[in-house]
């Protein structure tokens, strides 16, 4: 599906003469919010897929095929969200637990919004605001611009709204029996310090593990106040002498609990707009769970016969082969140009090791010198079987040698070596039993990719997806 569409797109795009289009690709995100696809009647735009040009870290030229695959993947994710609304997903413990948590939060937020709306955003209040600020909002009219005017009221009356909600939360805390340890809060306000860090340290040293707030089975301890205190801006230090501000630094979880309880009491958990908002926010998790279900490894496990066929057909695949390995002896001598011992200088160590190498080439036994100059933690200079990527330059050098070869000097960081290869085991195809796990994993990945392409094509047809050719 990708290759056919890609060739069609590329042919079209090469005709476009624009500074953002090249033969290599297109500047992404594109300058204009162009239409890149449709799902039925829904239009998918450039910025929806790739973000706004000003908001991304770096705009870069993406190859046309890569752009197509990103757009295709984005649409597939949307369709998975649609397909995930089934009992198999919605009845899982993971989904239900997260849905309940988010529903409580949204219900509490809706309750607060309604309280603010009733107090500050009634039709009478909005009309009065319009009259008082006619010069400021002359282009806005009620009821057409109610949302815009309400936003302006919230901004202008932000301080009043905050005081109103604080008073409401205080009354709610009282009626629900939230117990603040006022004596301890007062003691904390008496702390004297020159910085937030010093203030928090005093609390940590003198008042650790004391209960600040209790509500039913929930408790908030002084430990939870340490970080918020440390994060206070230096110019807000005076606020720490106010017990109400200190309470607000740590009572968030308690306040959320009582707001959720009050929202449930008032029926907000059953309000359709709250449930729909929560459901919409949960679509990403639903898609993840759905993907985990349809792409479960258990659905793609190959048969033994399939694995044997794969083994035979891919006998030249080097992942099924052992790596070349060499049995190596090493003469190892460290050097140090920073100490006062002249014989440890790099040049002198190189001369010493080269003289030994010449003696070996002349017939002396390599192993004798290897025992006298061993690498730390080696067995008398015997490294045993090593691979090409072992010991940095040692493995690389050994991989190019033949049995019986003596290397030239190998200069390393802080050491100089000479090695001898005494045995080589060339790469060979592993027995089937040794690579059965690799074959199984490869086949599962292959089957998943085939399923993804097939499933994506089916969903694109079902939801009438068309990816535009003006990418």
- The pLDDT value recorded for residue 470 is 56
Look up the CATH number of the domain holding residue 336. Answer: 3.10.50.40
Considering the domain boundaries, does residue 94 fall inside one?
no
d(Cα 388, Cα 22) in Å, to the nearest integer? 42
Mean pLDDT in residue range 341-361 = 94
d(Cα 375, Cα 370) in Å, to the nearest integer? 9
Helix (H) or strand (E) holding 348: helix 346-361
Mean pLDDT of the chain: 92
For residue 424, give every residue at least 6 positions away whose Cβ sits within 8 Å of its Cβ, in sequence order, or none: 324, 325, 326, 327, 402, 403
Same domain, 71 and 143: no
Same domain, 35 and 148: no
Same domain, 111 and 228: yes
Same domain, 134 and 73: no
Q: Identify the burial level of 458 via C-beta atoms within 10 angstroms of its C-beta, where 0-12 means exposed, 13-18 middle and 19 or more buried.
A: exposed
Considering the domain boundaries, does residue 259 fall inside one?
yes
Same domain, 204 and 243: yes
Considering the domain boundaries, does residue 278 fall inside one?
no
Same domain, 112 and 192: yes
Q: What is the pLDDT of residues 195-234, one digit of tens each?
A: 999 999 999 999 989 999 999 999 999 999 999 999 999 9
What pairing do the DSSP bridges indicate for beta strands 26-28 and 465-467?
unpaired
Among 83, 116, 135, the domain boundary falls at 83
Mean pLDDT in residue range 463-468 = 95
d(Cα 162, Cα 43) in Å, to the nearest integer? 39
Among 263, 279, 300, the domain boundary falls at 263
Considering the domain boundaries, does residue 174 fall inside one?
yes
Same domain, 233 and 128: yes
> 441 or 136: whose pLDDT is higher?
441
Considering the domain boundaries, does residue 336 fall inside one?
yes
Picking from 50, 68, 75, 69, the residue whose alpha carbon sits closest to that of residue 60 is: 50
**Strand-pair partners of 420:** 329, 406
Please state the domain count of the chain: 3
Among 395, 410, 425, the domain boundary falls at 425
**Strand-pair partners of 28:** 60
Same domain, 133 and 184: yes
Considering the domain boundaries, does residue 36 fall inside one?
yes
Mean pLDDT in residue range 139-168 = 90
> 137 or 173: whose pLDDT is higher?
173
pLDDT over 50 at 9, yes or no: no
d(Cα 224, Cα 128) in Å, to the nearest integer? 44
Same domain, 186 and 117: yes
For residue 286, give every residue at least 6 positions away whose Cβ sits within 8 Å of its Cβ, in sequence order, or none: 81, 84, 85, 89, 90, 95
Mean pLDDT in residue range 110-139 = 89
Same domain, 42 and 114: no
Same domain, 78 and 128: no
Q: What is the pLDDT of residues 63-119, one digit of tens each?
A: 999 999 999 999 999 999 999 999 999 999 999 999 999 999 999 999 999 999 999
Considering the domain boundaries, does residue 270 fall inside one?
no
For residue 451, give every residue at least 6 positions away whose Cβ sits within 8 Å of its Cβ, in sequence order, or none: 294, 295, 300
d(Cα 65, Cα 26) in Å, to the nearest integer? 10
Same domain, 120 and 207: yes
Q: What token pair was written down for 462?
A: 């079902």
Mean pLDDT in residue range 361-368 = 95
What domain range is 409 assigned to?
323-425
**Band of pLDDT at residue 21, cut at 50, 70 and 90:** low
Considering the domain boundaries, does residue 451 fall inside one?
no
């Amino acid at each position: 599906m990708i290759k056919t569409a890609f060739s069609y797109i590329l042919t079209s795009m090469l005709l476009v003469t624009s500074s953002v289009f090249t033969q290599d690709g297109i500047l992404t995100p594109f300058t204009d919010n162009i239409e890149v696809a449709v799902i039925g009647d829904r239009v998918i735009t450039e910025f929806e897929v790739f973000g706004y040009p000003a908001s991304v870290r770096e705009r870069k030229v993406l190859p046309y095929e890569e752009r197509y695959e990103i757009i295709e993947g984005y649409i597939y994710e949307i369709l998975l969200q649609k397909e995930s609304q089934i009992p198999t997903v919605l009845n899982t413990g993971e989904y239900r637990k997260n849905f309940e948590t988010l529903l409580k939060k949204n219900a509490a937020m809706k309750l607060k919004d309604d309280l603010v709306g009733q107090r500050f955003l009634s039709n009478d209040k909005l009309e009065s605001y319009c009259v008082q600020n006619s010069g400021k909002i002359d282009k806005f009219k009620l009821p057409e611009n109610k949302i815009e005017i309400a936003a302006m009221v919230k901004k202008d009356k932000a301080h009043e709204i905050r005081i109103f909600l604080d008073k409401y939360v205080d009354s709610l805390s009282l009626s629900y029996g939230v117990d603040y340890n006022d004596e301890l809060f007062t003691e904390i306000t008496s702390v004297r310090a020159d910085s937030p860090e010093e203030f928090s340290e005093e609390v940590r040293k003198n008042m650790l593990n004391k209960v600040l707030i209790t509500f039913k089975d929930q408790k908030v301890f002084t430990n939870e106040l340490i970080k918020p205190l440390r994060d206070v801006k230096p110019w807000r230090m005076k606020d720490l002498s106010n017990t109400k501000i200190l309470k607000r630094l740590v009572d968030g979880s308690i306040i959320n609990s009582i707001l959720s309880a009050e929202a449930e009491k008032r029926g907000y958990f059953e309000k359709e707009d709250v449930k729909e908002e929560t459901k919409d926010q949960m679509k990403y998790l639903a898609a993840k769970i759905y993907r985990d279900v349809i792409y479960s490894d258990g659905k793609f496990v190959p048969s033994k016969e399939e694995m044997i066929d794969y083994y035979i057909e891919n006998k030249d695949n080097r992942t099924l082969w052992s790596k070349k390995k060499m049995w190596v002896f090493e003469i190892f001598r460290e050097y140090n140009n920073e100490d006062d011992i002249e014989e440890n200088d790099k040049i002198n160590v190189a001369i010493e090791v080269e003289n030994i190498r010449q003696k070996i080439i002349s017939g002396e036994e390599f192993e004798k010198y290897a025992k006298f100059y061993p690498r730390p933690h080696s067995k008398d200079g015997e490294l045993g079987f090593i691979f090409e990527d072992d010991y940095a330059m040692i493995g690389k050098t050994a991989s190019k040698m033949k049995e019986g070869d003596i290397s030239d000097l190998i200069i390393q960081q802080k050491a100089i070596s000479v090695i001898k290869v005494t045995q080589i085991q060339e790469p060979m195809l592993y027995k089937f039993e040794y690579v059965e796990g690799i074959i199984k994993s490869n086949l599962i990945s292959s089957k998943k990719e085939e399923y993804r392409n097939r499933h994506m094509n089916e969903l694109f047809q079902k939801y009438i997806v068309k990816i535009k050719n003006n990418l």
